[in-house]
Structure 1
Amino acid sequence: MYQYIDETYEGVDFSYSDKRDGELQHCTFKKCSFRGTSLEEINTIGCSFIECDFRDAGLNASIHNDSAFMNCQFSGANLFVAKFINCKMTGSDFAAAQLDGVTLSKGDWSYTNLRNHNLSKQDLRDIRFIEADLYSCNLQKADLRGADLTGAHLVKTNLQGTDFRGAILDGVDFKALDLKGARMDMSHGAAFLRALGAKVD
């Protein structure tokens, strides 16, 4: 097992290297490439990854606490049973990534691309999904209580049994959603009626 503490890297190419089973504490990586890198079972604490490339990387069983992955590319990455705890993921792209068994606990996932992913039955309480692309996601029976979904793209998303109580849904296109079976607040009901053109006093 290796350990990096308070290290800073910019523009470094770690592609296709073996970085498994390590611990990174309060490190900063800017515009670094981890393409195809073996990062299984790594543990990051308070790290920042800015505009980094994780395409096709192996991140399964990795654990991330209070780390930031901003505007990073995860296309084709393996994130099987990975855990992101209170992480800032803004602007990152997870197209065609493997997210089976992933854990998202709080944190900021605004402006992320999570299209077509299966997040059913996930505990997604209090997460920020502002303007996140959740097109055609499976959110069946997901717990989104207290989440901020302002402007989120939810077209063709499976919302059967999804719990939106206490969630912020400002700017969401209710007319494009199938909300049958979803749990909502009275305030959401009023917003839904306004979206259909009704006047709510």
Structure 2
Amino acid sequence: MEPNETVSSTVATTSSQSPPEQSEAERAKWITLNVGGQRFTTTRLTLTNREPNSMIARMFDQDQLKPADQDAQGAYLIDRNGFYFRPVLDYLRHGRVVYDKNVNLQGVLEEARYYGLDGLVQQIIDIEQADVSLTRLDFIRTLVTSSHTTELRFQGVHLPGMNLSKLDLRNINFKFACLSHCNLSNADLSGCCLERAELRSANLEGANLNSAFVACADLQGANLKCCDLTSCSLENANMKGATLEGSVMEGVSLRVANLKSANMRNCSLYKADMAGANLEGCDLTGCNLAEANLRGANFKGARLEKLVAPVHMSQIDI
């Protein structure tokens, strides 16, 4: 077989036999592209349907831009790297990134940006972020080679959904880290810095957060049931809808924190600083609020039944 007789479903070549003549409608439907010397045959619909606002869609939309020049065989000439165009074309066909291990994703990313394929760009970025994310095993390897007094810096790491349960994570810097939906149940986070960390819907049940710095963190919908939050700083934290039932929170700082609709049943809040906190609709049934600072706190709609110690109501805005 001659070299130019090879036939592929993706790459088009000429055959030794003359192809049958095509009708005008067929020629309008099927398009051959010459991308950096490699030929690809596809349909006009494939190029225009996935992302109609992209540059490549506008090139081959009959009502918009004029397509590129054509070679002697009628293929449209595109001065780009054909090696990276195959994953681009596959994306246009089925909407997913499919590539061989020997293909550099950075090359595909540059082609996606050139053709204006925003959806493909985002998929590649997501793949690259997932590839660089740490795993539980990576964490364990780091922990076993360091002392709990060693300052480990994981500031800004992206670890959504990771299982870090029962690990000794004392004194680690997780500032700005994304830990949403993480499993941190029964983990030791004492002395950790979780300032401005993303902990939405994270599971911290039974975790030790003694003396941790969690100011301005996002803990919406998080599970902090039966946690040790003694002397923990949660100033200005967003804990809307969080569950803290049965937690030890003596000396905790909740200044201007948002605890709207949170479940704080049976929590020990002895000497807690809750000045300016939003406790609207919060369930504080059975809590110990002895010597707690409640100045300016919003208790509208809060449940204050069966409190362990009496509260000075003159300092509560109801």
TM range (shorter): 0.7 to 0.9
Deviations 1:73-106 (A, max 9, x none): 1122222222211111111111222223322222
* Distance apart, 1:129 and its partner CA: 0.8
Q: Is the 8 A contact 1:2 1:21 kept in 2?
A: no
Q: Output the CA distance in 1 between the equivalents of 2:236 and 2:280.
A: 20
Moved over 6 A (4+): none
Could you tell me which of 247, 264, 285 is aligned with 1:124? Answer: 264
* Equivalent residue number for residue 72 of structure 1: 212
1:43-122 matches, cutoff 5 A: 43-122=183-262
* Equivalent residue number for residue 12 of structure 1: 152
Q: Output the CA distance in 2 between the equivalents of 1:178 and 1:101.
A: 21
**Amino acid corresponding to residue 24 of structure 1 in structure 2:** L
Q: Output the CA distance in 1 between the equivalents of 2:204 and 2:313.
A: 37
Could you tell me which of 254, 270, 280 is aligned with 1:140? Answer: 280
Q: Helix, strand or coil: the match of 1:84?
A: coil
Q: Output the CA distance in 2 between the equivalents of 1:147 and 1:134.
A: 13
Q: Which runs of 5+ in 1 are unaligned?
A: 181-201
Q: Is the 8 A contact 1:42 1:59 kept in 2?
A: yes
Which structure has more RCO (C-alpha within 8 Å, separation ≥ 6)? 1
* Equivalent residue number for residue 196 of structure 1: none
* Distance apart, 1:72 and its partner CA: 0.9
Q: Is the 8 A contact 1:44 1:67 kept in 2?
A: yes
Q: Helix, strand or coil: the match of 1:165?
A: coil
Q: Is the 8 A contact 2:266 2:286 kept in 1?
A: yes
Percent identical pairs in the alignment equals: 20
* Distance apart, 1:153 and its partner CA: 0.7
| TM-score, normalised by the number of residues in structure 1 | 0.77
Q: Output the CA distance in 1 between the equivalents of 2:260 and 2:285.
A: 14
Q: 1:177 aligned to 2:285?
A: no
Q: Is the 8 A contact 2:191 2:212 kept in 1?
A: yes
**Amino acid corresponding to residue 48 of structure 1 in structure 2:** D
Q: Which moved more, 1:110-119 or 1:4-13?
A: 4-13
**Amino acid corresponding to residue 51 of structure 1 in structure 2:** G
- RMSD over aligned Cα atoms: 2.5
Q: Output the CA distance in 1 between the equivalents of 2:178 and 2:281.
A: 33
> How many residue pairs are counted as aligned between the two chains?
178
Report the CA distance shift for 1:175/1:99 in structure 2 as closer, same or farther (over 3 A): closer
Q: Is the 8 A contact 1:151 1:169 kept in 2?
A: no
| TM-score, normalised by the number of residues in structure 2 | 0.50
* Distance apart, 1:138 and its partner CA: 2.7
Q: Output the CA distance in 2 between the equivalents of 1:56 and 1:141.
A: 24
Q: Output the CA distance in 1 between the equivalents of 2:301 and 2:218.
A: 28
* Distance apart, 1:140 and its partner CA: 3.4
Q: Output the CA distance in 2 between the equivalents of 1:93 and 1:162.
A: 22
Q: Which runs of 5+ in 2 are unaligned?
A: 1-133
Q: Is the 8 A contact 2:275 2:293 kept in 1?
A: yes
Report the CA distance shift for 1:77/1:130 in structure 2 as closer, same or farther (over 3 A): same
Q: Select the structure of larger CA radius of gyration.
A: 2
Report the CA distance shift for 1:100/1:140 in structure 2 as closer, same or farther (over 3 A): closer
Q: Helix, strand or coil: the match of 1:24?
A: coil
